[in-house]
Structure 1
Amino acid sequence: MSARLRWLEPGFGDVMAARLVLPLGSAADPPGQAGLHQLLAGSLTRGCGNHDARSFAEWIENQGASLRCEAGDDHLQIMLKGVGSDRHVLLPQLLEMVEQPAASGEQIELERDLNLQTLQRLEEDPFSRAQDRLRQLMFGDGPYGHDPLGTTASLQQLGSQDVVTQRPRLANRQAFLVVSAAQDQALADDLEQRLQRFTHDSAGAPDPLPQGDRSWSADPLDTEQTVLMVGFRSLPVQHADALGLRLLQVHLGLGMSCRLFLRLREELGLVYDVGAELAMRRTDSPFIWHLSTSADQACGALEALLDEWQRLLDETLAESQLELAKAKLRGQEAMGRQTGAQRAERQAFCQAYGLPSDFHAQAMNQLEAISAMQLQQVAQRWLQQPCLSGSGPAASLHRVEQHWQQRLSRCLSPAGQ
């Protein structure tokens, strides 16, 4: 198969899964139009070719299929699942969605209103608010600096014509399709020919802005708990240190045996919830440590979290901790390729970021050679400049800010000064 079409062996049963990936992520939202690409993605389900929104939805349901469109930071994806024997009608329709998008202005406005309602619900969630503040600290107003949904202010300014103007970009030369289904050469040839007729050249998303000087942001909210997030701008997905950083994320934040859960919740009893997330991106992937706690224990929880940060910089992992992290990562890899849809997702990830098709297998082969000393060096290279955001009671955040400034001034390792 070509770079435009990747055909995988199907999973169990007569099930088909497909992903059409376009280089139109929210990082490419024009200034002042945050949320445009997610609105464009959502509108794709609201009309296609001769189908209006209702008839298209009915057609998908009558096929027993499921369809989802969303814009992430770096890519827009259309995800389709259905019965394998229906692949001859479902897969051509998938390409028609980008060749002949037909959502009416009324339907685009409806999609925008639904996105605004989602943002309004997220405004009531301290976790979401802290995350938005952290994005701003790490990435400012540039790419990666906003949720793919956009902001309330930007969405209110977007109209249906803004989305219609973007439609020609959907037939993009860099588009590719990953299919998990029983092999059908005639169908594959037809899909390949249609993909080759895509002519639009993508300018690509701009690089993120440099990280600013501010390291703290508070968002007072009348709740019973305080949410704190420490974030680091780390590395591109293709970087040689990416596997090491992923191991650190697993060690810190995956499961009830992870370091942060055992230390902050089980031993110290300081938090309701704690974890660590690494979202791989084209550039400067965000590595986020998060916790929720009671207002009166926020400073103690932050102190314990920063102790764990300092420990990663100053000490190597114990051999048992390293082996546990490796075992968890192997387990995640095995569980993440059980179904055709999961394998299609992984192959789409590899192609989207220009990685080898066996990237995940290569990573598992490299896992054994990673030492605790190498992980410490990875931490020292990428975890030197933290940002902190908080959402919760104003008095709690005021105490946290004071503690953060005092602790940050004395706990930076010599390598970070």
Structure 2
Amino acid sequence: DPDGRAGASHLLEHVVFRGTERRSRRQIALALESVGGTLNAYTAREHTGFEARVLDRHLPEAVDVLADLVRHPLLREEDVDHEKEVVCEEIAAVEDTPDDLVFEMHGDGLWGGHPYGRPIMGSRETLAETSRNDLAELHGRAYTGANLVLAAAGAVEHDEFTELVVRGFGDMEPGEEVAAVNPPPRPARGTTAVSRGSAQVHVVLGHPTPGQSHPDRYPLLLLSAALGGGMSSRLFQRIREELALAYAVYSYQSFYRRAGVCGTYLGTRPGSGSAALDAVREVYGDLAREGLAGGELRRTKDQVKGEIVLSLESPAARLHRLAGFALVGEAFVPVDELTRRIDRVSEDDILRLAGEVMDPERQYILCLGPEGAEAAQADHQDWR
């Protein structure tokens, strides 16, 4: 997004569906739905995606519609104004969903003014400042051949797909590749409390990590899985099964080109935020001191490898994986090689990373809810 125009990429994604040089918005909606297919789009931190899902015999129509959307949107003033209203409703939906809002607020606090910390949808204020000309400039700069990746998965022949892509996109202006953002500055540390009326206190505890190409990605996946990646994880067993302090408690990780974040989310009843956060810190401390030894490390490796293989049963997952490597200019990593990299992770790798990312001096905590301040004021413990 341009500076001061947070949410512009997401808004542009919306506006292209309002009409192209060849299709009205109604014709866009009918183009694939009329043959049983679907057409969708999304905006992530570092890219926008347009997706079509159709029966194999309707692949030509799908590629044609995608090319039309990406290359020939009308970007009319009235359509920009219309979609601003729609996006404001999306923002309101997030504001009404505290377990979504807490992640947006945590990212903003952790990364500050860096693009990784901006809400993907922007804000009402940045949307109001974003003009039709801003979107046209963004489209001309970003929607070019140098920035485009096309991928397909499922019942598709490579040569046929390539021919359709050349037909739809072959004469597209190459343009210049949009540069990756600069690495974020030193992330924030400490704790922020936000008082808000809700039935629970929502807590996100996050730690900065290296970016997606760093070899530490693989031990981090294992560390996150052991910490809060399922019913057998340490956090689930301690926070929910033993202490009954939360229904939802889990770990997460997000890897971007220049940096990443991993952490923990939990939602607990008012009055229990401090106890829940203390329990999370105890689990963190145990893992930072002990790492994953022997049987637990082997089980976690089997869990993560199995989840990866099962996740690729759907063509959509395989599609996203193919495109993901291409978007960042990395060589495709076959699943067999991916599982080998996971198998090569050692106990020492886990212990080293656990000590780094679970260091209380590197964490940023955000507590959102009716007694967010109570949870935030819980004293840090010395886990080391």
* TM, length-normalised to structure 2: 0.92
Which residue does the alignment assign to 1:153?
125
Verify the 8 A CA contact 2:28 2:65 in the aligned structure 1.
no
Matching of residue 82 in structure 1 with residue 54 in structure 2: yes
> Aligned ranges for residues 27-42 of structure 1 at < 5 Å?
29-42=1-14
Matching of residue 191 in structure 1 with residue 165 in structure 2: yes
Counterpart residue type for residue 198 of structure 1: E
Deviation of 1:118 after TM superposition, in Å, equals: 1.2
> Aligned ranges for residues 211-250 of structure 1 at < 5 Å?
211-250=186-225
> Identity of counterpart residues, as a percentage?
22
Which residue does the alignment assign to 2:272?
297
Matching of residue 358 in structure 1 with residue 329 in structure 2: no
Comparing 48-57 and 221-230, the one that deviates more: 48-57
Deviation of 1:142 after TM superposition, in Å, equals: 1.2
Q: Deviations over 1:183-204 (max 9, x none)?
A: 1635513524734633221332
Verify the 8 A CA contact 1:234 1:383 in the aligned structure 2.
no
Which residue does the alignment assign to 1:391?
368
Verify the 8 A CA contact 1:280 1:286 in the aligned structure 2.
yes
| Residues in 2 aligned to 1:288 and 1:90: alpha-carbon distance in whole angstroms | 38
Verify the 8 A CA contact 1:138 1:211 in the aligned structure 2.
no
| SS of 1:118 mapped into structure 2 | helix
| Residues in 2 aligned to 1:190 and 1:364: alpha-carbon distance in whole angstroms | 34
Verify the 8 A CA contact 1:137 1:216 in the aligned structure 2.
no
Q: Which residue, out of 103, 106, 109, partners 1:137?
A: 109
| Residues in 2 aligned to 1:212 and 1:99: alpha-carbon distance in whole angstroms | 37
The 3 A distance-change label for structure 1 pair 90 and 203 is closer
The 3 A distance-change label for structure 1 pair 383 and 355 is farther
Counterpart residue type for residue 64 of structure 2: P
Show structure 1 runs of 5+ residues with no match: 1-28
Verify the 8 A CA contact 2:31 2:65 in the aligned structure 1.
no
> Aligned ranges for residues 401-412 of structure 1 at < 5 Å?
401-403=376-378, 406-407=379-380, 410-411=381-382
Counterpart residue type for residue 334 of structure 1: V
Q: Deviations over 1:68-119 (max 9, x none)?
A: 1111011111111111111122213312222212243222222221111111
> Aligned ranges for residues 115-126 of structure 1 at < 5 Å?
115-126=87-98
Q: Which residue, out of 37, 44, 63, partners 1:72?
A: 44
- In angstroms, what is the RMSD of aligned CA positions? 2.0
Counterpart residue type for residue 64 of structure 1: G
Deviation of 1:44 after TM superposition, in Å, equals: 2.3
Which residue does the alignment assign to 2:35?
63
Which residue does the alignment assign to 1:174?
147
Verify the 8 A CA contact 2:32 2:61 in the aligned structure 1.
no
Aligned length, in residue pairs = 379
Comparing 366-375 and 144-153, the one that deviates more: 366-375
| SS of 1:279 mapped into structure 2 | strand
| Residues in 2 aligned to 1:152 and 1:328: alpha-carbon distance in whole angstroms | 42
| Residues in 1 aligned to 2:180 and 2:330: alpha-carbon distance in whole angstroms | 18
The 3 A distance-change label for structure 1 pair 162 and 309 is same
Show structure 2 runs of 5+ residues with no match: none
The 3 A distance-change label for structure 1 pair 357 and 377 is same
Which residue does the alignment assign to 1:348?
323
Which residue does the alignment assign to 1:26?
none
Which residue does the alignment assign to 1:284?
259
Comparing 182-191 and 137-146, the one that deviates more: 182-191
The 3 A distance-change label for structure 1 pair 214 and 152 is farther
Counterpart residue type for residue 150 of structure 2: L
Counterpart residue type for residue 305 of structure 1: V
Verify the 8 A CA contact 2:111 2:188 in the aligned structure 1.
no
Comparing 223-232 and 164-173, the one that deviates more: 164-173
